[in-house]
Amino acid sequence: MAFFLAVANRKGGVGKSTVSVMLAHALAVWGGKRVLMMDLDSQCNASLILIGGQGWSEARKANRTIADYFFDLFDGHSMQPKDYLLHGVGDVAGADGRPARLSLLPGSLLLEDVQGELFLKQAQQSNDPDVVASRVRGRLEQLLRRFEGSFDVVILDCAPGLSFAALAALKIADKVLVPFRPDYVSQLAVDRVALLIEGRRSLADLEDIPIERRRYVCLANYVREANGRERTLIEEIALAHPILDTRLPQRDGIANAFDWVAERRSIEQKYGNAVADVRKLYTELAPMLEKVPA
């Protein structure tokens, strides 16, 4: 059964997609895992990084994106979920030179629109908006879980904000990774997404859950090590939330890695001077991504 890892933050621009792809590469290449990336962000950054503009355009034309998947299967039509997946994606090869075992359900610019349409369709059956919203979320949760028997890790790259798909992802996730930039507004965003994940109303309520038992962990991203202000903010976030020791720096190797190249390279070649950062993140997070046997 797959381990579901949601990568989420209500705030945009914190590096959710880049961290998602970094982990997908590391888990597939170093961990030997069968990894599925589900791109739940209508910006489609994860898809562009993994299959390039042309690949993504082809998926859209073939009506094989996450929006199509949700729309086509919502009412139980007899489409095959596996037909929406692309396999062997990414421009990283394993140690044996073969494509990493990484699959993708491509993102769609229309994801928000489709979610709205599904809501309206369900609203025809009930005029209670809470009931309708619950039905839509519940069905999306089922659809997100559909692949759990075929992969070891499913990474849910969530959009900023709180769409039905993002809420569904947070609900089914075994673990939520919350990347953040060390600045003041990010602190508030982390607080709020943590409350949502744990179903609490205030930081005081959240303290009832021991930090080591929280369902999420935070990751400081775009860190400038010599910056005292950032270091202080990270410490302040860590007062209330579990936080990885790994700090992802602002580094060329990370920024450059997200140009998709039509030729597979080793993960070391792809990440260049950032490969040690990727390794550190993978080494720290991978043990948390094992399912506890029932």
Partner 1 sequence: MQGSGLKNRAEKEAFYRGLLRTARALDAGALDAKAADLARRTRRIWLADASLRAEIAAARDEPARGSASRSGGAPAALAPLPAEEAPAFDPFAFSAVVVMSRQGRAGLMQKLGEITDPDQLKQIADAQHLAIDRSLTGLDALREAIVKGAEQRIADRRAAAS
Decide if residue 204 touches partner 1 (CB under 8 A). Answer: yes
Which region among 30-38, 117-125, 138-146, 194-202 touches partner 1 (by CB under 8 A)? Answer: 194-202
**Residue of 78, 125, 127, 201 interacting with partner 1 (CB under 8 A):** 201
Whose tokens are 């355009």? That residue is 57
Decide if residue 127 touches partner 1 (CB under 8 A). Answer: no
- Residues counted in the chain: 294
Q: Is 49 helix (H, G, I), strand (E, B) or coil?
A: helix
Closer residue to partner 1 in complex, CB, 148/198: 198
**Residue 103, φ and ψ in degrees, nearest 5:** -120, 160
Q: Please give the single-letter amino acid code of residue 285.
A: L
| 164-193 positions binding partner 1, by CB under 8 A | 184, 187-188, 191-192
7 to 61, 122, 294: CA distances (angstroms)? 27, 28, 24
Decide if residue 203 touches partner 1 (CB under 8 A). Answer: yes
Q: Is 198 helix (H, G, I), strand (E, B) or coil?
A: helix
| 225-254 positions binding partner 1, by CB under 8 A | 228-229, 231-232, 235-236, 239
Closer residue to partner 1 in complex, CB, 203/286: 203
Decide if residue 122 touches partner 1 (CB under 8 A). Answer: no
Decide if residue 291 touches partner 1 (CB under 8 A). Answer: no
Decide if residue 207 touches partner 1 (CB under 8 A). Answer: no
Residues binding partner 1: number (CB under 8 A): 17
261 to 55, 125, 131, 257: CA distances (angstroms)? 12, 47, 45, 9
- The Cα 231–Cα 223 span in angstroms is 8
| Beta carbon of residue 232, minimum distance to partner 1 (angstroms, whole number) | 4
